[in-house]
Amino acid sequence: MSSSARDGGGIALLAGRGSFEKVPSLCAGRRVLVIASAGALQRSRAITWLPTDARTFTAFRPNPTVAQALAAAQFCRSSGVDLVVGLGGGSALDVAKAGRVLPADAHDADEVIAGRRPAPADRPELLLVPTTAGTGSEVTSFATLYQGYRKVSLDTPAARADIAVVDPALTETCPPRLTWTCAFDCLAHAMESLWSVRSSARSREWAVAALRMLIPVLTDADDLPDTAERDTLSRAATLAGRAIGITRTTAAHAMSYPLTAHLGVPHGLACALNLTWLVPLVETAQPEQVTDERGPAVVREAVDTLRIAFNAQGMDLASVLRAMIGRRVEPPYGDARCPRRPGARTDDAWIDLLVAEGMSSNRMTGTPVRLERWQVRAGLETILPVMRSAGGHQARLRQAR
């Protein structure tokens, strides 16, 4: 059953099974540009429901670059469309957001990304249709792009969709690894939003609701979620997306970007692995290390809420997380073609580079505890082996149990 609602950010949300059936009528009579991977176009049988003069843009890869986003924007401007449809996983939705928002000129586009210039006022409408459950991108006003190895964030209300269609049936074709990687992204969104220094009563409510839905599925589902569990994952993803729409993410996301760029670790997995070393630092932070101006009690409450959500009273959350990751996604977690070590001659220099890149992300600023460079470095050193080899991870998992 599908439902519709308009949230505080002005997004008309059509959610639930069958909601995708409304997309053809939303496109009818419009000059449409669909931004999607070739696979997503085919799986959605786009040719059967798109207006015959619709344009398509598929020239981007996972973890899209600023150049790919700019090409989408140039195509969008030159096509004179009045509706951009983003269809696919987080990468497709991010390119669709950028395609809708960025000016065609490269310098002007850089200025918009840097926040020094507003997005063009004459922009087409934006309809986002996620085909994975996890990123929550359909309800946020930011997009993640890469420039070389560095993550840049396009963050402007103009990147927010006018309409989001969240039909869990579209996630049925996601294989296990993609399904769980996306679920871990959602988990990181909910956990990080909950403890963010920017949390509000509303964002915490959404984050907790997402965790309550998500954790039982991560814990109990078979290798692939069943229909009801798919529905739950999609709902949790949108809720966690709304939560980070208010708070943004924190250090686990900040430190994930270099792991994705240099080691090819899928985004959600990189975030979850970072949580395994970040959680203990948040759990055990002394009052003087707390950066949340509302005081240490707020952070303690967030940690207590997490313990209840994970049903982990008396256990350490990091072990619970490690076991959850190990159960859902087989190592190795990095891409065999990586690592890329630009300009770094030694392992030490390379890890320093990962730390420096991650810590320069503005997502660090939401972290509720002060993180020293050496702590982040030590944290990364605990997970680098599990990204490089399966053996290291299994040994670590055994240790954790």
Residues that bind Zn ion (CB under 5 A): 185
185 or 357: CB nearest Zn ion:
185
Dihedral of the alpha carbons of 283, 284, 290, 295, in degrees to the nearest 10: 70
Q: Which of 129, 272, 119, 270 is nearest to 192 (CA)?
A: 272
CB of 27 to Zn ion, least distance (A): 28
Token pair 């669909």 in the structure block, residue: 34
Dihedral of the alpha carbons of 182, 186, 192, 197, in degrees to the nearest 10: 130
SS3 118: coil
* CB of 61 closer than 8 Å to CB of 41: no
CB of 90 to Zn ion, least distance (A): 7
CB of 198 to Zn ion, least distance (A): 16
49 or 149: CB nearest Zn ion:
149
Give the other-Cβ count within 10 Å of 349's Cβ. 11
CB of 259 to Zn ion, least distance (A): 12
15 or 271: CB nearest Zn ion:
271
185 or 231: CB nearest Zn ion:
185
Between CA 96 and CA 55 the distance in angstroms is 13
185 or 292: CB nearest Zn ion:
185
34 or 275: CB nearest Zn ion:
275
CB of 188 to Zn ion, least distance (A): 6
Query: Residue 20: phi, psi to the nearest 5?
Result: -65, -25
124 or 366: CB nearest Zn ion:
366
CB of 134 to Zn ion, least distance (A): 8
CB of 201 to Zn ion, least distance (A): 23
Between CA 384 and CA 216 the distance in angstroms is 28
List all residues 6 or more positions away from 311 whose beta carbon is below 8 Å from its beta carbon. Answer: 215
Query: Residue 127: phi, psi to the nearest 5?
Result: -120, 120
Nearest position to Zn ion, beta carbon:
185
Give the other-Cβ count within 10 Å of 115's Cβ. 11
Between CA 97 and CA 106 the distance in angstroms is 16
